[in-house]
Chains A and B, each alone.
Chain A
């Protein structure tokens, strides 16, 4: 008998078309980052010139460093807060306004970024906060926290509550039961949440441009302002590096989730 999973010609064609649609632009970008020519659209042979240029571009390196720091800091804070929120909403006693709370937690998911950015800008101005690293970090934390909460909460929801009860029955107080049993089981979701928050923060332009101050531009802001003056091949090199970084992060995340799933639990929703 023929295997059901065997692809027909139509399937192969549509798959190829879909993948090409998604990845051809990126492929071209990566390819042209190795272009020796000064013109972005003209192929002038292989070269690492633009990578060299990028690593000597102090402003660009600073922006990249700023973005990385913001991404790591905001992802970490967001993971902590998002996990706590998810635990409180799915494990805590039912309290009045719980539905309202969980609804409000998820509002940033659908809120237009312009509005989030503008409201945060108004807040920072009202507080007279100096805009820079910390304001962007706080802004990104509010954006990404809800993503972490969604991922962690769905994992918690699929977890059997009697596992925690069993831990308590076997001598754990509630906090130790959480640390000894629940935490290891939701760890893949927490890791996935962190990765998600990290990449969201890394590529955000809108909120960052509202909340950052002079002299502390993030990489997307820097790239955007450069592109407005004309696309330099150096941008291609930077983007290729960012793509490589994100690819590595995603591969690690899926490996981590696969590893934990082979330890006896279904994979975390990524």
Chain B
């Protein structure tokens, strides 16, 4: 076994990862990887670099190839094309047990015939670790995931959250260079999921380990990951930080997949300094900031996130607001959706379109709330808009 498992200091053990980073080489490099099942191209030419210590999320709808990509990293599928380099070494065709990578399975895949302790010790025994060291490592892992006192239980005597922790401890026990997590929180209820998200992030930071998580839940990816790779039909559509992904989506599809968005189709009309005027069918002419990447003259779409849209009864109040709030749209409230922290209003624009506005409920009393069929003015600045190629 190539792996060595000495010592008890977790940070020291993963120092190997930092060495690659120092050499300017990513921990993991995926080069033009493709996988075909029959005639279905599950993963279609994905290239990606992941640095040591990074928390990376693969996000996409079901069937987009994210799980297949993860399984190729774990070694359960061999890529048909391309290379997978871990620390500069090609591991594309290596078997799962030959890789210093561990995976946490979606359904946890705990061994039902083994106790919590034996589940965690399983990988250590295979690595030929001395008995005393195994006991110490298991104790350390049990403490890490807060499972003290449950070591002798069998998986079916544990709750869902406890099982999830055992699976995590088992995957971490061998101190892999890379930990893969396949929808690790999908089976937990909402409250537990949020707590576990925070714990996972804390753990990842503390251990300095590299995590790759696969999820279809964009909120989960945004909360936890340093960078997100959005996948669509086997291809990486965009790789970006959560903020960039949300505020500067590269395509219409990503804009709609990540969060809610208002989209207005139109055509570029004229250029006014750093501003662009786009004539839309449903919202009239909109003034937008010129995008960083030049857009063609063909069909475009203007995208505005609901929380960037401000509502008022009589248009922008302050003088400053009037200057920047170049886009003002009149309409009536058509639908109200109260969500506690925010309220989402659907505004039927006089120009014909529908506009969603998300307003923070900053006051407890409904003094600033709008009612159905009330006339409102919606406004947003050119910088709030994203121009997308249609």
Contact = CB atoms under 8 A, between A and B. Distances in A.
Interface stretch (B108-116, B284-292, B313-321, B334-342): B108-116
A163 interface: yes
A171 B107 contact: no
Contacts of A263: 112-113, 154
B169 to A, nearest CB: 12
A167 B107 contact: no
Interface string A158-199: 001011011111111110100011001100000000000000
Interface string B97-123: 100011101110111110000000011
Residue among B76, B109, B171 with the highest chain A CB neighbour number at 10 A: B109
Contact of A170 (B107, B156, B170): B170
Contacts of A181: 111
A230 interface: no
Given A160-B107, A264-B155, A264-B156, A165 B112 contact: no
Contacts of B156: 264
Contacts of A173: 95, 97
B232 interface: no
B107 A168 contact: no
Contact of B113 (A170, A171, A265): A265
Nearest to A170: B123
Interface in A19-76: none
Contact of B97 (A163, A171, A185, A260): A171
- Chain B interface residue count: which class? 20 to 34
Interface in A238-270: 260, 263-265
A168 B95 contact: yes
A53 to B, nearest CB: 49
Contacts of A265: 112-113
Contacts of A264: 112-113, 154-157
Contacts of B127: 171
B300 interface: no
Contacts, number: 74
A160 B109 contact: yes
B74 interface: yes
A171 B112 contact: no
Nearest to B111: A181
A163 B109 contact: yes
A185 B107 contact: no
B45 interface: no
A174 B103 CA distance: 16
Nearest to B153: A264
B96 interface: yes
Contacts of B95: 168, 173-174
Contact of A169 (B102, B110, B157): B102
Interface residues of A, number: 22
Contacts of A176: 126
Residue in B102, B103, B126 with the greatest tally of chain A CB atoms within 10 Å: B126
A170 B102 contact: yes
Contacts of B102: 169-170
A171 B110 CA distance: 15
B105 A165 contact: yes
B96 A163 contact: no
B122 A170 contact: yes
Contacts of B123: 169-171
B126 A170 contact: yes
Nearest to A159: B112
Contacts of B227: none
A174 B105 CA distance: 18
Nearest to A185: B113
A185 B112 contact: yes
B174 interface: yes
A7 to B, nearest CB: 32
B126 A163 contact: no
A161 B222 CA distance: 31
Contact of B109 (A162, A172, A180): A162
Given A160-B109, A264-B112, A167 B122 contact: yes
B365 interface: no
A171 B109 contact: no
A160 B74 CA distance: 18
A172 B97 contact: yes
B245 to A, nearest CB: 30
A181 B3 CA distance: 22
B178 to A, nearest CB: 12
B363 interface: no
B1 interface: yes
Contacts of B105: 162, 165-166
Contacts of B170: 166, 170
Contacts of B96: 165, 168-169
Nearest to B122: A170
A185 B155 CA distance: 14
A35 to B, nearest CB: 49
Interface in A127-165: 160, 162-163, 165
A166 B106 CA distance: 11
Contacts of A185: 112-113
Nearest to A168: B96
Contact of B76 (A163, A165, A170, A260): A165
A117 to B, nearest CB: 41
**Which 5 residue pairs spanning A and B have beta carbons closest together?**
A171-B126, A170-B123, A166-B109, A162-B109, A168-B96
Given A166-B103, A171-B97, A263-B112, 14 more contacts: A162-B105, A163-B111, A165-B96, A166-B111, A168-B96, A169-B96, A169-B171, A170-B97, A171-B3, A171-B126, A181-B111, A185-B113, A263-B154, A264-B155
23 contacts: A160-B107, A162-B106, A162-B107, A166-B110, A166-B111, A168-B95, A169-B102, A169-B123, A169-B171, A170-B174, A171-B123, A171-B126, A172-B97, A172-B126, A173-B97, A180-B122, A260-B113, A263-B112, A263-B113, A264-B113, A264-B155, A264-B157, A265-B113
